[in-house]
A and B are shown apart, each in its own frame.
Chain A
Amino acid sequence: MTSGTTGGSGARDTVLGRVRDALALAPPRETAVPRAYRTGRRLPDDERLALFTDRLTDYRATVLTCTADGTAAAVARALADRGARRIGVPAGLDRSWLADWDGEVREDSSDVPPRDLESLDGVVTASAAGCAETGTVFLDASPDQGRRALSLVPDLHVCVVDLSAVEAGVPEALARVVPGRPTTLISGPSATSDIELERVEGVHGPRTLVVVVRTDM
């Protein structure tokens, strides 16, 4: 077998040396990267909302729309409709969103063992951005979105998205992401098609995703 070295600088120098050798043996031709694909698209609010809703629904997520004033009512409905009694929220969540809800609220922190998150019926978070064309919400672990485990372990995720942060396409939405943050792109609930290609929701992540879109934000 290979020598006992396990990744010391010997391996590093060897691999980089081989890469350089390979490129010297067959010098590459200069490549320009054409970026003629669509970027910088802007769509009117109603079109973005319609597309976003269509795509999310197609992925079996539920979409509720509301105005900023109606956020609390929409969040309460999303939770009550699914029988949630005890929910988790990130520390930075705008608590006025929970004004209409009378269940139990647990504020998350990094001290809470992930196992404890299993006792939650659901979780409410904000989001960093959205992409209409793919029906995707972006979470970047900001204080109003919390650590990644929070939106992963409980079975219901209610995610509040401002329409103003929903972009038409992937390039536009990705431009809103701050590189370097733990980022999760969510398109519908967890799903598998591994058994005879039959789609099953909720293998490991939340089985239910409700996206609350605030249309005047």
Chain B
Amino acid sequence: MSRPESRGTGSTFLGMPARPPRVPYGDGNLRGEEAFPRAAAGELRNEQLRRNLGRATGTIRGKRLAVTGELPDWEELRDAGAALKTDALNRLPELLEELERKVTERGGTVHWARDGAEANAIVTRLVKAAGSDEVIKVKSMATQEIGLNEHLEDAGITPWETDLAELIVQLGHDRPSHILVPAIHRNRDEIREIFLKEIPGVDPSLDSVPAHLAAAARAYLREKFMTTRVAVSGANFGIAETGTLGVVESEGNGRMCLTLPETLITVMGIEKVLPRHQDLEVFLQLLPRSSTGERMNPYTSLWTGVTEGDGPQDFHLVLLDNGRTAALADAVGRQALNCIRCSACLNVCPVYERVGGHAYGSTYPGPIGAVLTPQLAGMHAADDDPNSSLPYASTLCGACYDACPVKIDIPSLLVELRHQKTEESGRSAERLAMRAAAAVMGRPRLWTAAQRTARLGRALAGRDGTIGRLPAPFSGWSDTRDTPAPPKHTFRDWFASDEGAAALRDAAREGERRRAERRTSGDDQEDQ
């Protein structure tokens, strides 16, 4: 597909700049097949998924609160993390150029990719140039976003996922359902079945004890680690100052991929760049504690270009745009690019907890996915574009904002996107989306929870502090749902009434009280 490029070069500024393009429709894994409400309705019938997810999110939530509560300077770390990411985005051109220079100085090669198709083509070319028809992969959201595995397979290259959960997903011909625990929708018996069917030569008497299943995967993957000559990874950080890349993981499959093959290809979103090596001191505290609820993840690997006698001697860094510059062009929405993919917001989200990751149809599920996905890939005019429904996949309860280690104000971003969608498509499409969303959101408990939180009022106010710009979605919402309150009139009317004002005041107090409680007790009660 051809598309108008914004400009040939970026060095001089002539006239009004063009808005950078979003991911082309239908490319990669940033769009599901059906709108969120319909997909969610299907997932809601999956009892197993809901049970597993409930347990997973509950467990991780508890661990996260315990280890974040341990640090007296947690809020200061969040402040630093948020500011560092914002500062890095503000200075993105110079930082990317610096990163490129440093990686090149250290013997690496840097490639730039405007979109997923281009990144896929670069990786394919590099793998072929290395003379290999297979690659080992360490879990990477960027490569999943662009559908690299599918593309490699089409080109006759076999990609082997080496993260245990990703392996389960891949062998099960399935899709990941959580950023952090992608196979959480599978239980041990299902995993055993998958292994028996898909791993060649696996012991037929394999039982479903997790340690035995992990051992089977270990034996299977060892062979791949030892024999595959090319690895593909993502990166959690890229340090401009030194050209250092970083991967944070638990299993050691990352270390295997980053160390044993001859060629390493790293695909990194351009928003992952950090200015200084010292900045790692912030993110190596924020990320593991927010993500797995650990003080530190078992393994972190940092590498810079190539090092003689140690690790791959051929290193390639692919810097990926794929809609990121489109998000960057939005003064409000660009906040979503601060995301460090910890998944904390998923684990506290009442909607995610019930419907799971598949309903979002994107590599990025949950609250951040609902914001990031439409920004990267757009909300298309077609009424049934799944991404148009994502900004409604939220109760705006604000738990995600409280949990986010880099303080992304997800509720406000969701409201902003709802607003943008309204502007684009007019009221009727809006009402359709809202009616459908109500099928999921129209649960008295969630509605009441949303109503009770102070955040709703603040989020409603949007970025300029007025609520007048947002009548349609909310009137649509209240018109079409069967909820205890508000019964007859529109949300807007209710909001303007004394009753509404009082409810919001109460909510503000209640929200404050809950947050204070959570801060002092480390208690894990979500607002629901």
Q: Which A residues are closer than 8 A to B by beta carbons? A: 1-7, 11-26, 28, 30-39, 55, 59, 109-110, 114-115, 118, 131, 133-136, 141, 147-149, 152, 170-171, 174-175, 177, 179-198, 200, 202-206
Contact = CB atoms under 8 A, between A and B. Distances in A.
Contacts of B243: 180
Interface string B278-308: 1011101100100010111111111110011
Contact of B255 (A14, A109, A184): A184
B90 A194 contact: no
Nearest to B248: A185
A138 to B, nearest CB: 9
Interface residues of B, number: 117
Given A31-B86, A170-B285, A190 B73 contact: no
B461 interface: no
Given A183-B302, A202-B218, A37 B76 contact: yes
Interface string B19-49: 1110000000000000000000000000000
Given A7-B113, A18-B20, A170-B281, 8 more contacts: A6-B121, A14-B7, A36-B80, A148-B310, A149-B310, A185-B302, A191-B251, A193-B181
B26 to A, nearest CB: 11
A73 to B, nearest CB: 28
**Nearest 4 interchain pairs by C-beta:** A205-B252, A17-B10, A110-B309, A21-B17
A5 B2 CA distance: 12
Given A28-B89, A174-B284, A192-B251, A19 B328 contact: yes
B302 A182 contact: yes
A192 to B, nearest CB: 5
Interface of B: 1-2, 5-10, 13, 17-21, 52, 55-56, 59, 72-73, 76-77, 79-80, 83-84, 86-87, 89-90, 92-93, 96-97, 106, 111-115, 117-118, 121-122, 125, 162-165, 168, 181-184, 187-188, 191, 210-211, 213-214, 217-218, 221-222, 225-226, 239, 241-244, 250-253, 255-256, 258-260, 270, 277-278, 280-282, 284-285, 288, 292, 294-304, 307-311, 318-319, 321, 325-326, 328-331, 334
Given A7-B112, A170-B281, A182-B311, A24 B13 contact: yes
A206 B255 CA distance: 11
- Most B CB contacts (10 A, CB to CB) among A59, A147, A184 go to A184
Contacts of B79: 34, 36
- Most A CB contacts (10 A, CB to CB) among B10, B79, B243, B260 go to B10
Contacts of A37: 73, 76-77, 80, 282, 285
12 contacts: A11-B111, A17-B6, A19-B325, A20-B93, A37-B80, A39-B281, A59-B294, A110-B309, A190-B251, A202-B214, A204-B222, A206-B252
